[in-house]
Amino acid sequence: MAAPDGRAPVVAVAGNPNTGKSTLFNRLTGGSQRVGNFGGVTVEKKEGALRLDGIDAVAVDLPGTYSLAAASPDEQVVLDVLTGRSEGTPRPDAVVCVVDATNLGRNLFLVSQIGETGLPIVVALNMSDEAERKGIRIDAAKLSSRVGVPVVPTVATEGRGLEALRGAIASALNDRPKFAVVPWPESMEEVCRSVRAKAGGVLTEAEVHRLMFDIGSDLPRRIGWLGAEPALREARETLKLRGMDPVSFEATERYRHLEGLLEGMSTRPVTARARRGYAVDRFLTHRFWGLLVFGAIMFVVFSSIYWLAKPLMEGVVALFGLLGGWAGAALAGTPMLQSLVVDGVIAGVSGVLVFLPQILVLFFFIALLEDTGYMARAAFLMDKVFSWCGLNGKSFVPMLSSFACAVPAIIGTRSIEDPKARLATILISPLMSCSARLPVYVLMIGAFIEPTYGPVWAGVALFAMHLLGLVVAIPVAFVINRFLLRTRPLPFVLEMPPYRRPGVRDVGLKMYRNAMEFVVRAGTVILAFAILIWALTFFPRTEAEGVSESEARAAQLEHSYLGRFGKAVQPAFEPAGFDWKLTVSVLASFPAREVVVTTLGIIYNVGEAEDSDSLLRERLAAASWPDGRKVYTPWVALAVMVFFALCLQCGSTVAVMARESGWRWAAFAFVYMTGLAWIGAVAVYQVGAGLAA
Amino acid sequence: MSLAQLSKDEGGRVLSIRAADVALAQRLLAMGFLPGAQLRIVQVAPFGDPITVELNGWRVSLRRSDAASVDIARV
């Protein structure tokens, strides 16, 4: 059957979190998934082809929620899609409601709310094996006849019951089975009808129910109903007078109705068996052992991102180096095209793909931590540490990852449901000292700290640089949370699912989806940045005759738009003790901070000798101002390091931030971090100058 | 007394949800914190907060500040 307008039927997959909904969706759609966002919000939308017997449908995975209350962006999206108000997603023709068979009552609460939208429903009674192990037996046929819609027992992890489910969905598209809705009292329906009339008839019955019950709902604003506030207040007053508390009436009445429907449907769980899935919790959330295990797991995650991804990243760089060499030789006749292809395009693509190993490794661990149920425990353990400054226990994994690289970390914040905590985590992640800052620290410490003060102070300086970002991030998070993100945080009410074995297929698909999305969406922006920067250093051309190649490169950089710009803004960096060469190098490293060492090499005319590192250190040590003072003192070196520690010199991070939170927040992060970096560098240099005087 | 005042391994029966924060109250109600529901504190986080509550055979963790809006009778 096709939908009325001839398009393929759309089947939404809804359900509570931790019901195996994603696993079921993955099983139903196979690998044919597309990822994006729901219209206008940063809530992930997964779509896939759903082949039913003779029907080609489209399945849409909705975010996991406990109700349609629309208090969180996730709930808002579910309500919008089901009522046909989500931009870019047609109203579904049927809904597959995935319920956890071990917890039927709470799961059917959402199903019953969805039932009121009037959409045909098929219930997938998932985890029916786990229920059986716990001693819960459910008579699916009897339940089906009670609730009025097909109920299909499934075990998504093993693919059991899927054929029956496909069949039930196919018939539901024709038969349009309706869930047994709550028989609301006439005294309430009367109030609802008057509200509906006042709203001008644009609302469905289900939406009016949501409006009445969900105090603080965003719905009136979005349908442009200006008189909603007084009308709803009056309606709720009337409800209260008639003995129906608007806050609790829906829940108590709905649960009472469900209790009636479920009467005699299932056996009670055997308590001892029911607790089995939680047995290790005593250990894993213990105040000593729990924290120890947490630390160990996080250590494994971090060192894997750092060390496991490293050879792969080097492989990507080497591969593109080879490709660049080959392309360079092939295009030797046309120098400009050669430079565009080698230094712009190939370097740019390499700069995108180099992040893939870290993203894949991070999402391997995130998928594992989420699907086993450990992520919820990590959030539980760390909540007290993070919540006071507006972060979330789940912020820990991204923040830790950003010590390796902020790009996978920012994508990894998708595991944080609370939009406010997620945004705060995104905004402070780039402050953590990532591995690309290390070359700058090594150069500066090696040239100006270690020779004078010895290896101990060199170590202290390196450690201090890594600590600096973290120390600054905490007050920054507090300020952002307190003064910039005015919306209310979501209450921390987090289900602790029993520990479960993750499925290989689900972990693999999560890694694949996130990696692909990065390449397609953020990758294009990163590539564009790379080509832009190439152009700024390549033009305008200067033709130096009779000089060495490295001298010609230094002259070209000085002559280019970037070099001219660097000289022009140098006065702004004067208070930090930066000369024009350092300023140009700092500016050139805004797209990617790790290039600063290369740029300094070019600008100080070091060339590509084998001892280029020590040669660069010598040249830096010898550099002097026109009046003969040395440019680099230990204080200038420290100012440079502080600048790099705090500055958002990474086009890839900016592009990913823009992708995950919008350009405005990306611009904000860029401005606040550059500001902090400047203030930090100036403060260090001025203190140093004061001490020396 | 409120749920926030219970210690580990203590149980109670929900009397009502006090709606200081309506969104929180509705979320708790939707999750089954209804009058009459039996619950028990099964875990307390290492720094004393949040707590994990067992309710109708499943577990949910919440902060003590939020748990304070659940009125209970000790069982």
Which domains, ranges and CATH numbers included, belong to chain A? Answer: 10-175 (3.40.50.300), 186-276 (no CATH), 522-692 (no CATH)
* Burial state string for A386-402 with b = 16 or more CB within 10 A and e = fewer than 16: bbebbbbbbbbbbbbbb
CA distance A636 to A632: 6
> With contacts defined as CB-CB under 8 Å, which chain B residues touch A278?
42, 59
Residue A132 touches partner B, C-beta closer than 8 Å: no
CB A616 within 8 A of CB A600: yes
Give ipTM to 2 decimals.
0.96
Looking at residue B32, what DSSP letter applies?
Answer: T
Nearest Cα neighbor of A149 from A114, A178, A124, A111 is A178
Residue B65 touches partner A, C-beta closer than 8 Å: no
Distance from CA of A607 to the nearest CA of B (A): 56
Q: Which residues pair with B73 in a beta bridge?
A: B13
Q: Which residue has the higher pLDDT, A15 or B22?
A: A15
Contact A492 B42 (CB under 8 A): no
Q: What is the pLDDT of residue A205?
A: 84
Query: Which percentage of chain B shows pLDDT scores above 70?
Result: 99
CA distance A356 to A313: 8
Q: What is the pLDDT of residue A2?
A: 47
Distance from CA of A1 to the nearest CA of B (A): 35
Closest residue of chain A to B34, computed from CA coordinates: A252
Contact A493 B26 (CB under 8 A): no
Closest residue of chain A to B63, computed from CA coordinates: A492
Contact A105 B32 (CB under 8 A): yes
Provide the H-helix boundaries in A608-650: 612-622, 634-646
Residue A66 touches partner B, C-beta closer than 8 Å: yes
Contact A384 B17 (CB under 8 A): no
CA distance A442 to A433: 13
Contact A285 B52 (CB under 8 A): yes
CA distance A111 to A14: 8
Closest residue of chain A to B9, computed from CA coordinates: A282
Q: Which amino acid, A149?
A: V
Contact B58 A106 (CB under 8 A): yes
Pairing of strands A94-100, B58-62: unpaired
Side by side, which strands form the sheet with A94-100?
A33-37, A44-52, A55-61, A10-15, A94-100, A121-126, A151-153
Contact B26 A387 (CB under 8 A): no
Scanning B1-40 for CB atoms below 8 A from A yields 17, 19, 21-32, 34-35
Who contacts A135 (Cβ-Cβ below 8 Å, separation ≥6)? A267, A268, A269, A270, A273, A274
Q: What is the pLDDT of residue A153?
A: 96
Q: What is the pLDDT of residue A276?
A: 77
Mutation target vs A (from B26, B53, B62; most A CBs, 10 A cutoff): B26
> With contacts defined as CB-CB under 8 Å, which chain A residues touch B63?
383, 387, 491-492
Contact B61 A492 (CB under 8 A): yes
Distance from CA of B1 to the nearest CA of A (A): 20
Contact B45 A281 (CB under 8 A): no
CB A358 within 8 A of CB A316: no
Q: How many CB pairs under 8 A join A and B?
A: 124
Nearest Cα neighbor of B29 from A99, A107, A252 is A252
CA distance A50 to A10: 9
User: Directed axis angle between helix A249-262 and helix A140-147, to 10°?
Assistant: 130
Q: What is the pLDDT of residue A71?
A: 77
Residue B58 touches partner A, C-beta closer than 8 Å: yes
CA count, 13 A, side-chain hemisphere, A517: 24
Mutation target vs B (from A259, A380, A391; most B CBs, 10 A cutoff): A380
Contact B46 A286 (CB under 8 A): yes
CA distance A601 to A610: 13
Contact A492 B43 (CB under 8 A): no
> With contacts defined as CB-CB under 8 Å, which chain B residues touch A494?
60-62
Q: Out of A109, A274, A281, name the one closest to residue B30 (CB).
A: A109
> With contacts defined as CB-CB under 8 Å, which chain B residues touch A282?
43
Instruction: Give the domain B3-74 fold.
Output: SH3 type barrels. (2.30.30)
Residue A678 touches partner B, C-beta closer than 8 Å: no
CA distance A523 to A352: 5
Contact B27 A281 (CB under 8 A): no
Residue with tokens 């089947």: A11
Contact A248 B47 (CB under 8 A): no
Mutation target vs A (from B43, B49, B63, B64; most A CBs, 10 A cutoff): B43
CA distance A415 to A409: 11
CA distance A190 to A235: 10
Q: For residue range B3-16, what is the model confidence (pLDDT) as tens digits? A: 999 999 999 999 99
Entry pTM: 0.86
> With contacts defined as CB-CB under 8 Å, which chain A residues touch B52?
281, 285, 380, 496
Two tokens, residue B9 = 């391994």
CA distance A539 to A331: 19
Closest residue of chain B to A109, computed from CA coordinates: B30
Q: Which value, to the nearest 10 degrees, does the dihedral of the CA atoms of residues A364, A365, A370, A374 take?
A: 150
Contact B19 A251 (CB under 8 A): no
Q: What is the mean pLDDT of chain B?
A: 92
Q: Out of A103, A214, A281, name the one closest to residue B58 (CB).
A: A103
CA distance A197 to A236: 15
| Spans of chain A, pLDDT less than 70 | 1-5, 544, 607-610
Closest residue of chain A to B45, computed from CA coordinates: A381
Residue A629 touches partner B, C-beta closer than 8 Å: no
Distance from CA of B44 to the nearest CA of A (A): 8
Distance from CA of B3 to the nearest CA of A (A): 14
Q: What is the pLDDT of residue A168?
A: 97
Mark residue A633 as left, alpha or beta (left: phi above 0; alpha: psi -120 to 50; beta: remaining). Answer: beta
Closest residue of chain A to B50, computed from CA coordinates: A380
Distance from CA of B30 to the nearest CA of A (A): 6
Q: What is the pLDDT of residue A365?
A: 92
Q: Out of B43, B45, B60, name the one closest to residue A493 (CB).
A: B60
Distance from CA of B73 to the nearest CA of A (A): 19
